Structure formats: C-alpha cells, structure tokens
A and B are shown apart, each in its own frame.
Chain A
C-alpha cells in the first residue's frame, strides 16, 4: 500500500524568549507526529490553540523544517526534493482570504504566479490556463483584471483555491480554509472543494477547529493536543465512537443545532494547555475528567499510525484491567 503523504516522528521545537533576563524557554510545538494519507483521501486535523496544527501545516508545506523526523511524499523525503519539484505537487489554501492575496496584484497575476515562477508556458498559455481554472472554481472571467480588495471574502478564497490548483498539484494543505467565512459562503467553498477533489483526483489535508465541518468532509481524522496525536482513526471511528477523553470533550463542546439541549458540562476545569510547560505523564491529565494517579507519571504510548486508536492509558492494553 503506497501512501502519498507520510510523516514519521515529526517533531518541532522552538526557542522562545521569555524577556530580557530569563533564559529562553523550549516550546514543543510538535512531538512525534505520525500520519499517513493515501491518494484521493482527505485527512482531517482537529485541535485547539497550542495543539501544533499550524506548525504541522507549515512543515507539510516545507515552509519550516522539522527538528526531528521527516515528511515523505510518495516515499521520498521532502527535504531532499527540490523546491520546484515539491511546490508543483503540494499547494496551500490558507485561512484568511484577506491576507493570502497580494493587494497590489490583479487576480490574473495572482493565479498565474506559480506558473511564472516555474517558467511554465508562454504568457498567452498562462492566461488561458488562468481563465480555465477561474471558471472551474466559479469565478467570472471579468474578475481577472480586478484587485483583491474589490472581491468578497468567498470570492477571494476561490482565488486562493484557483492559485493552488493552477499547476495541477497532487496534495492540497487546507489550513482552516473556511473559518473566516459566513456559513452560506462556507458551504459554497466546501462544496467546491469536494467537487474539485472528485474531478481532479486531489488529496487533502484539512485542518480545522470546526468539528462538524471536519466530520462532513474527511475520511480519516487525527485529533491533536499539545503537539501530539491523541487519537487517530476513520471518521466513523473517531466521531461515532471516540476513545480519548479529549476527543469526547471536543465533540461534546461542538455546539450542534439542538434546540433546548443547553450547553453540556465538559468537565475540563479551568487549567489551560501551555505548550511551554507540558505536564509530565499524559499532557492532557490536568484537565482530564477521567484521569487517575498513573496518568501524571506514565506517558501513554503514541497512537500507532497503522491501526489508529487513542493515546490514553485507559484504552491501552496493559492497563485496561487496572483502570
């Protein structure tokens, strides 16, 4: 079974200044992340602030190098791929439609930029390609000479998607692509992403904090907490039968339309996750409603990327009897 994308033991540390007189602190943004993705699949990454998903996105896009571990594209380490070869195959769609487009360029310039950088095609050919991609994402041709500030948020996001597609990539990393959009625009963009995936055989990594959207869109999902994958599985496995207490808390907090049901008590307490001071043992244990004494001393085994499951002492074999 060959995987389009694989990460092996991905770790990333940062030195963070604590002010002039204190020594620099070590921030573990990612800690041993293992993921796998087949061509044509959608991998969802969910988690809250501090979980490391934005760092993961940057590493997957080769914008940041990992401190340890590697990312494999079709089995090859992306650190060894040339800049040009990598960028032809992996493209981003970012969250903020306002800052992801250069305000001083026309839409046509923005969409054809990757082609110009790679020296693909003549001017006329590039314009034709831009026109056909714009059509595919639902942008009228007359927008080609407009500037980003003349477009709405949803239209700008379509431009960002068009730019991502213009070189026929294999993998698209979507970092919260609809979080800044209204619900009615979000549904259009999500439908577009799903259609494009089918039509062009694309593979997505879809990072989002919106669980309902992730559940709707993805084939497998990784739940992240303080730089680690705490649960991994198919959509059905994770959303219908979550094993990790954090996953359960996340799912309970996602306020779906349920009139009269009120807001559930998640039971997490007020401690907040600080990537600069990751607790010993299980990183979730200070907030976990089901933590027991072993949790603060023993770190759970990381999730096996082949079988999925949860990084929780409650679900891991040797202790199941003792809990």
Chain B
C-alpha cells in the first residue's frame, strides 16, 4: 500500500469532486434543488394569489399564444386563477408530500429492516411475514379505500402512503444489515461493550446510509406520482389546493380546447420525477464503484 505523506482532502471535498464526474447526478440534483427553492420561495415568486378566481379572465392562454398576456404568463384556468402561481404552489404540495411520505416510510422500513437483519431468527421471520403481507396489498386500492373512508386531504394522503410504502426500505435494509452483521467490526463493537441500540445506530446505520439515500430518492418520485394519481381520481388533495395531479384532473375536460391546462402541470410533474430519478441513478453510480 502506498504510504500517505500529504494531508488528504476532506471527505466532503472528495465527495463533491466525485459528484462532478457524474453529469446525470449534477443535472438531476440541480433541477430538484431548483424546484425546492421555488417551493420554498413560492410567496415571493408567484405573481398572483393561486386561489383568487376571476371569472372574467377564464381560460386565458399562456403568453406565447395570440390571446395571451403578460399579466398571466402561463394563462389562467377555467376559474380564472393564475396558472403560473398555481404551478408554483403546486410544487410545494408535491414536494411536501413526497418528502413526508419518504420520511415516515423510511423510518418504518429502516427500523423493521435493521431489526430483521440484525437479530435474525424469529424476529426476521416475523418481519418477513409482515413485509409479505404488505406486498400482497395493492397500494393504490388500499389508499383509495382509506381516503374514501376518511375523506381526502393532504395529511390523509401522507399518512396512508407513509404507512404503506416502506417495503423497499425494509427489504434492502434487511439484506444489507445481514451482510454487515457478519463483519468483524460489529463483533469488535459488541466486545467493546456497546449496546445493540448503539451498534444499530452508530455502527450499522452509517454503513447502509448510501443505499438508503438511493432508495429514498426513488421513493420520493414514486410518492409524488402516487399523490398525483390519487388527486387525479379526486381522492387525494382536495380543491382548491393546487396539486399538480388535481390540476391535471380539473383540466381533463378542457383537454382539446385549452391544451395547456393539462400540458403544463403534466410537464412539471414529469420533469420533477425525471430529475429525481436522474439524481437517484447518479447517486447509485457514484456509490457502487466505492463498494467494489
């Protein structure tokens, strides 16, 4: 092994430099970051209030059409609400739901996976059984049923999806934990007197973090799409909240007349999901050579 004689660069610096070698990662992260910033600064960026209706200005096309004006850059919807503002506030809904769902499902799935992978035996059998039961459930249908029972709202959607979408976390965390469990540094930690809680939190978790991040990015995209689907079906976020899925749903009757009403939120949704997947792919590429 070559002896190191100079001070190596910091870990963050090395990671950042590595990221630059993966253009897909950079593009994906840039787009997602832009959307997050838009969502955060929505009140400053939106030209109008997204809830204010103005029947006199219904279905005004975007500015690049003949009849468009700069007053409403992306036009207005069938109730006269400024579309750009609704789009910007819609980003909030999508991202909030995406991240909240992943937070809840991530905690549930990771905990189950850690316990199953570390303890094995009966705990593993129990967790595997729970995962199998969960996998046997069609998520959308269960979500629909719950929403039908409790009514649709952003928090119902987040709760339902969060309590259902933890399976991938559990499965991956379980197998990674099993591999790590067999390594000597876990035995050393036990020999040092560390409690199981300490080992799981401070020895195992940091080593599965890379995989967790990759799965989290996939699940964020999936959660956003699922919310859009639910809202499209009328069982997710309720009007007048500007969810992109809801906007698509409201616009479907006008699809042939005011095409932009569907195209604009659809494009935004597709771009966000695409960017998240790019970022996830890039992260995976970045992490995998490190492991070999």
Contacts and interface: CB of A to CB of B under 8 A. Distances in A.
| Direct A/B contact, Cβ within 8 angstroms | yes
Interface of A: 58, 61-63, 83-84, 86-88, 90-92, 94-96, 99-105, 113-114, 117-118, 142, 146-147, 150-153, 155, 160, 163
Nearest to B2: A152
Contacts of B206: 102, 104-105
Interface string B172-216: 000000000001110111111111001000010011010000000
Contacts of B184: 94-96, 99-100
A185 B158 CA distance: 57
A247 to B, nearest CB: 29
Given A101-B185, A103-B207, A87 B192 contact: yes
Given A88-B193, A100-B184, A117-B192, 20 more contacts: A63-B191, A83-B195, A86-B193, A91-B191, A92-B188, A92-B191, A94-B184, A94-B188, A99-B185, A100-B188, A102-B185, A102-B189, A102-B203, A113-B192, A117-B195, A142-B7, A146-B8, A152-B1, A160-B188, A163-B188
Candidate in B7, B8, B187, B206 with the most chain A CB atoms within 10 angstroms? B187
A149 B161 CA distance: 40
A117 B1 contact: no
B16 interface: no
Given A104-B207, A163-B192, A94 B1 contact: no
Interface string B147-178: 00000000000000000000000000000000
A114 to B, nearest CB: 4
Contacts of A99: 183-185
Nearest to A94: B184
A96 B3 CA distance: 20
B191 A146 contact: no
16 contacts: A61-B187, A63-B190, A63-B191, A83-B195, A88-B193, A94-B187, A96-B184, A99-B184, A99-B185, A102-B185, A102-B206, A117-B192, A117-B194, A146-B8, A152-B3, A160-B188
B44 interface: no
A304 to B, nearest CB: 31
Contacts of A142: 7
Contacts of A151: 1
Candidate in B1, B4, B184, B190 with the most chain A CB atoms within 10 angstroms? B184
Interface residues of B, number: 23
Interface of B: 1, 3-4, 7-8, 11, 183-185, 187-195, 198, 203, 206-207, 209
8 smallest A-B Cβ distances: which pairs?
A87-B193, A152-B1, A100-B184, A114-B192, A94-B184, A104-B206, A99-B183, A102-B185
Contacts of A153: 1
A73 to B, nearest CB: 14
A102 B183 CA distance: 9
Contacts of B11: 147
Contacts of A160: 188
Contacts of A86: 193
A81 to B, nearest CB: 11
Nearest to B3: A152
A32 to B, nearest CB: 25
Contacts of A58: 187
Nearest to B210: A104
A126 to B, nearest CB: 13
Contacts of B207: 102-104
A84 B195 CA distance: 10
Given A150-B8, A153-B1, A92 B187 contact: yes
Nearest to B187: A63
A4 to B, nearest CB: 17
B107 to A, nearest CB: 21
B188 A84 contact: no
Given A63-B190, A92-B188, A99-B184, A117 B198 contact: yes
Contacts of B190: 63
